[in-house]
Structure 1
Amino acid sequence: MRMRRLLIGVVATSVLSTILTVTYVALGPLRVTPPAPQAAPAAAAPAGPEWSTAWAAAPSSGFRNGPAGHTVRNVVHATVGGPKVRVRLTNRFGTAPLVFGHVTVAISAHAGGRRDGSVDASDGSAAPGTVRDVLFNGIKWVSVPAGADVLSDPVALEVPADTDLLVSVWTPVRAPMATWHVDGRQLSFVSPSAADAAADPTSTPFTSRTTAWFFLTGVDVTGAAGTIVAFGDSITDGSATARGSNHRWPDLLAARLAAGPEPDYGVANLGIGGNRLLLDAEYPYTKIDSKAGHSGQSRFADDVLEQSGARTVIILFGINDIMQQPRQGDPAQIRAGLAHLAARSKAQGLKVVVGTLTPFQGWGPWSPALDQVRNQVNDWIRAGGGGAFDAVADFDQAVRDPADPRKLRAVFDGGDHLHPNDAGMQAMANAIPLDKL
């Protein structure tokens, strides 16, 4: 069932009317003169969306007795920038209404892991003069029902691309379940005091650390060209990448776009570690705190179709369906699931790129029979999925060992023979056809 989303904002529509006035002047005998040929007017460049997603994370589960009742300072990295910003918060896995009492957004005093390879790690402090209150329909606080999300009002703040932002959330009342994204590969901060620290520009109150993101699912900006949505599991989530480096393949795709002639699209990473395409985590005993989240089929509407400015989705799904119990040994089921996501995307006007499944020999459950299922799915993807999608990103070919294509190339292996490392993430990002986005 599609999650109900609580949206707060104003949509404005303007209508432009043009009046053409023609004046006739008669001088002497009537003469008919054909009009001089004129060049056809230049086609106007298509306007970009009002809002694009600069950063996103998929809520994966509920965390019992989490940081509700404190202030969380989420550190996130903007793939694109713009003159206005808004944030999306969630109580999607909550079991009761949750009050966000004070929310702020700021530019971090430290840029984080950047595209030039440098890492200026955040300590939780904000750049001077950049802390802004975030309002909800003009009010400083908002109560969000269990199972719902909320979108903030626009905030005037010049957000640079390729830099860290701080989104601080104070929850005055402890809730029994806090929605989170479990593995952010990024250090964020928590103030253990019950006092509101959201507007404090310093790092002083934030003495506790976390590698998860709490309550925050997205940051949107104005002025960008649109959004590419990366949808998948732990490989998309970047599980074997260096913390704080922003070297997941979606980050590196954003870097390729910024460096080339293609539009500088925002890239939203909606990967969840352990996530399956067809079944919820721990099926059939799905629990609200199962860290691998709802299936790709179940969360697709909320996590993909509702991304601001979405124009293209890149789908990398199926390896966990093959590996995890109950194992999916029928490649037709995975193919059908991918085709279904593609059809839903196209029905909303999105382009669809599907990635081939990467090798995993050496990971615990690997077997020749499971690898045959993977290869059968990949054969169908490379053949275009029967016309189900627009393009292919051959991630398998990009990272496999040429001498033994059942396993990752050693220089791309994150150490567990399943998850690519930073170099492997770069190879995957390079395999994406930019002209199809």
Structure 2
Amino acid sequence: MSKRQGYAGLAALMAAVVLICGGIYLGVGAVKDKPALRTPPAAAPVWIGTWSASPVGVVPPATANRAHGGRDGRSVRNVVHTSIGGTAARVTVSNLYGTLPLRISAVSLAVRAGDGPEAVRGTLRQVTFGRAPGATVAPGGQLVSDPVVLRIPYDGDLLVTVHTPASGGAVTTHTQARQTSYLADGDRTRDEAGDAYTAQIRSWHHVTAVDVLTSEARGAVVAVGDSITDGISSTPDANRRWPDVLADRLAGRYGVLNEGISGNRLLSHDRGPSTLDRIDRDVLGRSGARTVIVAIGINDLLRAPYATTGESVVTGLTELSRRARAHGLRVVGATLLPCGGHLRCTPAVEAERIEVNEAIRSGGIFDAVVDFDRALRDPYAPQRLRTVYDSGDHLHPSDAGYARMGASVDTKAL
């Protein structure tokens, strides 16, 4: 839900803005809401991610066509929350897990009005691919749209609407969105009103990233992890995951990109490829990435049949850090949260968790450390989450726990 309003004058504002023909350079100097000040020239605008979500899996075709997907003549209006603003945007659509070509007939982008599927009047823009209104995404592939000139707010909501006209294969999704998005029959991508969007879904379909063109933000911080980063136990439609809290603290200076996957592991495939296998796509491939916060490993210790040792997790974290550094990223490592009281959190698992955390705190793996363990553990029972920070399952934080996590990150370390 957007925390800032006041987009009523955008229609008149954007009417004066044009794309320069013959290239993708944008006339961003014309996109403004105040008279130009006599200040030193700003840095050249660059593309930086404002939102992202890792593709996790698929909605089967039959299910997608019935109620949960965008195929077979339906429009999906994805609601995504921004961490930085800009003067233009571009959208990434994915067919990573599709088995057939994904045919897209229309895509639109708009600023969201209120809490439903309605767009702020005058902000809806058609999204094109190679200047064409539609595109076909090959199985396993993705496409990045042409730039769309639109004033993008930070800490606000966007509507990314995708219409797919024909029945096809499985729909690539991020399943645990903790965000309500919407469905409509037919091509309703140009609708500012939300009346046609009569069905709701709790996953993001087709869309995996939104970048903005900005000279204000300094880069992007990528949070990679499992369900605790994905925010699986946070309040839906409230943007209370710990990366959201961090984005609020950074106040538009850095994009914060959430690449958490519920159930994900560092070393082995489970609900998506391992973190080591997806780092190129979900971290190194993110626009403007400068820093990665790594919060992964507890599922490797907890979950059969591939449960592993603390030593193996430390080895994997060291390799992940090495690869990120090789691409010029600063790497911040997070300690593993307590899990005492959870069914799978045996004394043996607790011993392995302590081993991993000691290695992380030693300073030999990462450039900096955020100690989520110390921030959330019960001081009288350090193997457990403090009650106020426990969602109730003794593994995932409550909203208060996520707020504490987001507040624990030393922004200077970024």
Q: Normalising by structure 2, what TM-score?
A: 0.87
Once the two structures are TM-superposed, the CA of residue 421 in structure 1 deviates from its matched residue by 1.0
Question: Corresponding residue for 2:394?
Answer: 417
Write out per-residue CA displacement over residues 225-254 of structure 1, whole angstroms, 9 at most, x where no aligned residue. 210000000000001111111010100001
Query: In structure 2, what is the Cα distance between the partners aligned to 1:241 and 1:10?
Result: 43
Q: Does 1:197 align with 2:174?
A: no
Once the two structures are TM-superposed, the CA of residue 436 in structure 1 deviates from its matched residue by 1.4
Q: Does 1:256 align with 2:271?
A: no
Assess, with a 3 A threshold, how the Cα gap between structure 1 residues 264 and 175 changes in structure 2: closer, same or farther: same
Question: Corresponding residue for 2:55?
Answer: 59
Query: In structure 2, what is the Cα distance between the partners aligned to 1:328 and 1:46?
Result: 51
Question: Corresponding residue for 1:210?
Answer: 201
Say which of 292, 297, 305 aligns to 1:326: 305
Q: Give the conservation status (yes or no) of the 8 Å contact 2:24–2:147.
A: no
3-state SS of 1:370 partner = helix
Q: Does 1:398 align with 2:391?
A: no
Q: Give the conservation status (yes or no) of the 8 Å contact 1:189–1:210.
A: yes
Query: In structure 2, what is the Cα distance between the partners aligned to 1:378 and 1:275?
Result: 19
Once the two structures are TM-superposed, the CA of residue 364 in structure 1 deviates from its matched residue by 1.6
Query: In structure 2, what is the Cα distance between the partners aligned to 1:61 and 1:344?
Result: 25
Q: In structure 2, give the amino acid aligned to 1:59.
A: P
Write out per-residue CA displacement over residues 193-235 of structure 1, whole angstroms, 9 at most, x where no aligned residue. 2x21111111111111001000010111111321000000000
| Mapping for residues 99-118 of structure 1, pairs under 5 Å | 99-110=103-114
Q: Does 1:358 align with 2:347?
A: no
Query: In structure 2, what is the Cα distance between the partners aligned to 1:47 and 1:370?
Result: 49
Once the two structures are TM-superposed, the CA of residue 328 in structure 1 deviates from its matched residue by 3.1
- What is the CA RMSD across the aligned residues, in angstroms? 1.7
Query: In structure 2, what is the Cα distance between the partners aligned to 1:135 and 1:76?
Result: 19
| Mapping for residues 271-420 of structure 1, pairs under 5 Å | 271-281=260-270, 292-384=271-363, 386=364, 388-420=365-397
Query: In structure 2, what is the Cα distance between the partners aligned to 1:228 and 1:189?
Result: 28
Once the two structures are TM-superposed, the CA of residue 257 in structure 1 deviates from its matched residue by 1.1
Q: Give the conservation status (yes or no) of the 8 Å contact 2:268–2:306.
A: no
Query: In structure 1, what is the Cα distance between the partners aligned to 2:162 and 2:48?
Result: 22
Once the two structures are TM-superposed, the CA of residue 326 in structure 1 deviates from its matched residue by 2.1
Question: Corresponding residue for 1:138?
Answer: 131
Once the two structures are TM-superposed, the CA of residue 10 in structure 1 deviates from its matched residue by 6.8
Q: Give the conservation status (yes or no) of the 8 Å contact 1:329–1:373.
A: no
4+ residue runs of structure 1 moved beyond 3 angstroms? 9-12, 44-49
Q: In structure 2, give the amino acid aligned to 1:56.
A: S
Is the deviation greater in 219-228 or in 322-331?
A: 322-331
Aligned residues: 369
Once the two structures are TM-superposed, the CA of residue 63 in structure 1 deviates from its matched residue by 1.3
Say which of 150, 158, 163 aligns to 1:165: 158
Q: Does 1:184 align with 2:177?
A: yes
Q: Give the conservation status (yes or no) of the 8 Å contact 2:24–2:146.
A: no
Query: In structure 1, what is the Cα distance between the partners aligned to 2:176 and 2:286?
Result: 21
3-state SS of 2:108 partner = strand
Q: Give the conservation status (yes or no) of the 8 Å contact 1:329–1:370.
A: no
Query: In structure 2, what is the Cα distance between the partners aligned to 1:358 and 1:10?
Result: 49
3-state SS of 1:220 partner = strand
Question: Corresponding residue for 1:90?
Answer: 94
Once the two structures are TM-superposed, the CA of residue 49 in structure 1 deviates from its matched residue by 6.4
Query: In structure 2, what is the Cα distance between the partners aligned to 1:45 and 1:381?
Result: 42
Q: Give the conservation status (yes or no) of the 8 Å contact 1:52–1:226.
A: yes
Query: In structure 2, what is the Cα distance between the partners aligned to 1:162 and 1:71?
Result: 25
Query: In structure 2, what is the Cα distance between the partners aligned to 1:137 and 1:149?
Result: 14
Q: Give the conservation status (yes or no) of the 8 Å contact 2:124–2:192.
A: yes
Once the two structures are TM-superposed, the CA of residue 174 in structure 1 deviates from its matched residue by 1.6
Question: Corresponding residue for 1:15?
Answer: none
Identity %: 43
Question: Corresponding residue for 2:11?
Answer: none
Query: In structure 1, what is the Cα distance between the partners aligned to 2:202 and 2:369?
Result: 32
3-state SS of 2:243 partner = helix
3-state SS of 1:83 partner = strand
Once the two structures are TM-superposed, the CA of residue 298 in structure 1 deviates from its matched residue by 1.3
Once the two structures are TM-superposed, the CA of residue 11 in structure 1 deviates from its matched residue by 7.7
Once the two structures are TM-superposed, the CA of residue 336 in structure 1 deviates from its matched residue by 1.0
Assess, with a 3 A threshold, how the Cα gap between structure 1 residues 422 and 10 changes in structure 2: closer, same or farther: farther
Query: In structure 2, what is the Cα distance between the partners aligned to 1:148 and 1:357?
Result: 33
Query: In structure 2, what is the Cα distance between the partners aligned to 1:390 and 1:46?
Result: 30
Gaps of 5+ in 2: 1-21, 26-39
Question: Corresponding residue for 2:78?
Answer: 74
Question: Corresponding residue for 1:230?
Answer: 223
Q: Give the conservation status (yes or no) of the 8 Å contact 1:71–1:196.
A: yes
Once the two structures are TM-superposed, the CA of residue 329 in structure 1 deviates from its matched residue by 3.7
Once the two structures are TM-superposed, the CA of residue 45 in structure 1 deviates from its matched residue by 10
Say which of 221, 230, 235 aligns to 1:242: 235
Once the two structures are TM-superposed, the CA of residue 327 in structure 1 deviates from its matched residue by 4.2
Q: Give the conservation status (yes or no) of the 8 Å contact 1:48–1:226.
A: no
Query: In structure 2, what is the Cα distance between the partners aligned to 1:219 and 1:421?
Result: 28
Query: In structure 2, what is the Cα distance between the partners aligned to 1:48 and 1:319?
Result: 41
Query: In structure 2, what is the Cα distance between the partners aligned to 1:304 and 1:127?
Result: 32
Query: In structure 2, what is the Cα distance between the partners aligned to 1:48 and 1:184?
Result: 33
Q: Give the conservation status (yes or no) of the 8 Å contact 1:180–1:213.
A: yes
